[in-house]
Amino acid sequence: MILLRCPLPLLLLLLLPLHSRPQKLPTRDEELFQMQIRDKAFFHDSSVIPDGAEISSYLFRDTPKRYFFVVEEDNTPLAVTVTPCDAPLEWKLSVQELPEEASGEGSGDPEPLEQQKQQITNEEGTELFSYKGNDVEYFVSSSSPSGLYQLDLLSTEKDTHFKVYATTTPESDQPYPELPYDPRIDVTSLGRTTVTLAWKPSPTASLLRQPIQYCIVINKEHNFKSLCAVEAKLSSDDAFMMAPKPGLDFSPFDFAHFGFPADNNSGKERGFLKPSKFGRQTSPKPRVDLHRVCIGNKNIFTVSDLKPDTQYYFDMFAVNTNTNMSTAYVGTFARTKEEAKQKTVELKDGKVTDVFIKRKGTKFLRFAPVSSHQKVTFSIHSCLDAVQIQVRRDGKLLLSQSVEGVRQFQLRGKAKAKYLVRLKGSKRGASMLKILATTRPNKQSFPSLPEDTRIKAFDKLRTCSSVTVAWLGTQERNKFCIYKREVDDNYNEEQKRREQNQCLGPDTRKKSEKVLCKYFHSQNIQKAVTTETIRGLQPGKSYLLDVYVIGHGGHSVKYQSKLVKTRKFC
């Protein structure tokens, strides 16, 4: 097979005799071959297939493409591999005899160039192999005739990338990793969020000692038949295969500046992948939930962080790190196990229920009113961090929100309806909350709160033995109790945050810490402010102040704690 860098007319000129005496085409010069394929521009937009190197190119939909190569001697081994990427291909390999070197009744004068060119291109040739589909397909022959070989490719579905590899020395090249006798991926362990996979090693690694690494691809749609197909799905600059090594491979993205439209928004991320104005315009593809990881030469791996009760597809590719060429194992799929069914807590009408949720955990509660109702009210008091709440009525989602502090939701009722409440805890730590469900609209167990639950301290009114503070109230008459506790001077905000459990009421405090309790409200919400001076403090000491508001049902909510310090000298 010869290596040329020319369009078809010049290729044919070189293939045809230039003298009347017999002239033999050169065999592959390995030194020249390595030198030339290091320059990737050598094969860009060329009709010539190089001997022993994988090329990547593109097809526009319904636009056929033809490649040529020459086998110069009879009984030559030949292997051709075509790899479709993101669309099925139709391809055909055929051969036709090279023209006689002389004509004109033995005059020794060569035929005119146009006549000889016509002699080759007008002949159909003998079809050796054809295929239609998206599998990686091979043509292999241990003894091929000499001649001009044609590879015709067509994509009828869409514009697509593809790869072609051809060689006249298949026994010695072996650029693709060999599969074991059993190329299947085994699922050895299955959990709710994990799947463990195992596979037999490639003989290329175990016997030939060539550098092989295994790459796993996980997605929810389907199995992939080639790494090229995976690359076509990737929508970011995180290209899956390693950077091309000079003289050994060609990146599928090298041809983008010839007008092939870049997938999705990858052109924005690669400066050199901007589609030419002559290329076809395509709408951007949606991002694909596809994950991949290369794990070296291990042949067992546990995929984690999966979703419960979800089907996943797993593909394994053996990649020769010398040639950057890959072979696909037989992919598999598996469905993760369901979440362990949790016990559902029954909510009673008008009764407060305490709920504890582990970090990132979930709890389910059920409310089934015994009487007909027009409305149902859910009151939530999140004691620590925010929690997520979802409420479904007979399977229909009515509410989905994040709740911090005290919130109340009133939903439309329905006769004989059943309500399922799903609570999801915080990522930062365990969650505690109180919840009340009722069909009686006037039944409010938790006190109403202002939007701002901070306590304000007046620095100018601070003395050696007293501090003055203020806080907001509401239009509803409630009971407020204020407590103080002396703390060390090194008491900080982190310690204060850990003590912000709003569900701990005054009953958990020492009697000596109580300052006073009083009732307060204002019909004018703008004037719903109260102040209080706390006396009997020690000079230069720090105190933590807490205000509790107590509702009619006896449940209390704590305002945000306030750290104050008396003056040392007065």
pLDDT in tens, 38-91: 444 444 446 888 888 888 888 899 999 999 888 888 998 999 999 998 888 999
Which tokens sit at 329? 């194992």
The per-residue pLDDT for range 294-305, each reduced to its tens digit, is 999 899 999 999
Three-state DSSP string of 227-271: HHHHHHHCCCCCCCCCCCCCCCCCCCCCCHHHCCCCCCCHHHHCC
From 206, 454, 195, 485, select the one nearest 318 (Cα to Cα).
206
Span 269-280, average pLDDT: 34
Identify the bridge partners of residue 56 per DSSP, sorted by sequence position.
163
The values of phi and psi at residue 466, to 5°, are -150, 160
Alpha-carbon gap, residue 282 to 161, rounded angstroms:
14
Alpha-carbon gap, residue 218 to 70, rounded angstroms:
41
Average pLDDT, the chain: 78
Alpha-carbon gap, residue 352 to 337, rounded angstroms:
34
Q: What is the pLDDT of residue 520?
A: 87
Q: What is the pLDDT of residue 497?
A: 65
Which tokens sit at 498? 């850990």
Is residue 255 scored above 50 in pLDDT?
A: no
Alpha-carbon gap, residue 41 to 249, rounded angstroms:
12
Span 111-138, average pLDDT: 69
Q: What is the pLDDT of residue 543?
A: 94
Q: What is the pLDDT of residue 37?
A: 42
* List of residues 6+ apart from 570 with CB closer than 8 A: 463, 464, 539
Q: Locate the domains of the chain by residue range.
A: 53-98+125-173, 176-238+288-340, 345-438, 455-565
The per-residue pLDDT for range 369-382, each reduced to its tens digit, is 887 888 899 988 88
* Cβ 46 vs Cβ 57: under 8 Å: no
Span 328-342, average pLDDT: 88
The per-residue pLDDT for range 22-46, each reduced to its tens digit, is 333 334 454 544 444 444 444 444 6
The per-residue pLDDT for range 390-437, each reduced to its tens digit, is 999 998 999 999 988 888 888 988 888 899 999 998 888 888 898 989
Identify the bridge partners of residue 342 per DSSP, sorted by sequence position.
none
Fold annotation for 455-565: Immunoglobulin-like (2.60.40)
Give the pLDDT band of residue 465 (cuts 50, 70, 90).
Answer: very high
Q: What is the pLDDT of residue 2?
A: 42
Identify the bridge partners of residue 313 per DSSP, sorted by sequence position.
219, 333
Is residue 244 scored above 60 in pLDDT?
A: no
Alpha-carbon gap, residue 54 to 202, rounded angstroms:
21
Helix H or strand E segment including 232 = helix 227-233
* 176-238+288-340 and 53-98+125-173 share a CATH fold: no
**In the chain, pLDDT over 90 holds for what percent of residues?**
35
Span 258-281, average pLDDT: 35
CATH 1.20.120.1780 fits 345-438, yes or no: no
Q: Give the CATH number of domain 176-238+288-340.
A: 2.60.40.10
**In the chain, pLDDT over 70 holds for what percent of residues?**
76
Q: In terms of C-beta density within 10 A (0-12 exposed, 13-18 middle, 19 or more buried), how is residue 218 classed?
A: middle
Q: Number of H helices and number of E strands within the chain?
A: 8, 31
Task: Tell which wins on pLDDT, 120 or 208.
Answer: 208
Name the CATH superfamily housing domain 53-98+125-173: GOLD domain (2.60.120.680)
Specify the residue for token string 């202002």: 450
Q: What is the pLDDT of residue 42?
A: 41
Q: What is the pLDDT of residue 200?
A: 93
Is residue 312 scored above 50 in pLDDT?
A: yes
Identify the bridge partners of residue 264 per DSSP, sorted by sequence position.
none
Q: What is the pLDDT of residue 443?
A: 64
Task: Tell which wins on pLDDT, 160 or 272.
Answer: 160
* Cβ 28 vs Cβ 69: under 8 Å: no
Span 532-560, average pLDDT: 90
Q: What is the pLDDT of residue 121?
A: 53
The per-residue pLDDT for range 160-210, each reduced to its tens digit, is 889 999 988 888 778 889 999 999 999 999 999 999 999 999 998 777 778
Is residue 109 scored above 60 in pLDDT?
A: no
* List of residues 6+ apart from 403 with CB closer than 8 A: 380, 382, 386, 387, 388, 389, 433
Span 298-320, average pLDDT: 93
Alpha-carbon gap, residue 69 to 237, rounded angstroms:
34
Alpha-carbon gap, residue 304 to 193, rounded angstroms:
6
Alpha-carbon gap, residue 392 to 344, rounded angstroms:
14
Span 225-243, average pLDDT: 64
The values of phi and psi at residue 118, to 5°, are -65, -35
Alpha-carbon gap, residue 88 to 133, rounded angstroms:
5
Is residue 313 scored above 70 in pLDDT?
A: yes
Identify the bridge partners of residue 429 per DSSP, sorted by sequence position.
none
Q: What is the pLDDT of residue 416?
A: 86
Using alpha carbons only, give the angle 243, 172, 147 rounded to the nearest 5 degrees: 100
Pairing of strands 542-550, 478-487: antiparallel
CB atoms within 10 A of CB 556: 22
pTM of the model: 0.49
The per-residue pLDDT for range 481-504, each reduced to its tens digit, is 999 999 888 877 666 666 677 788
Q: What is the pLDDT of residue 123?
A: 60
CB atoms within 10 A of CB 549: 25
Which tokens sit at 53? 């190197």
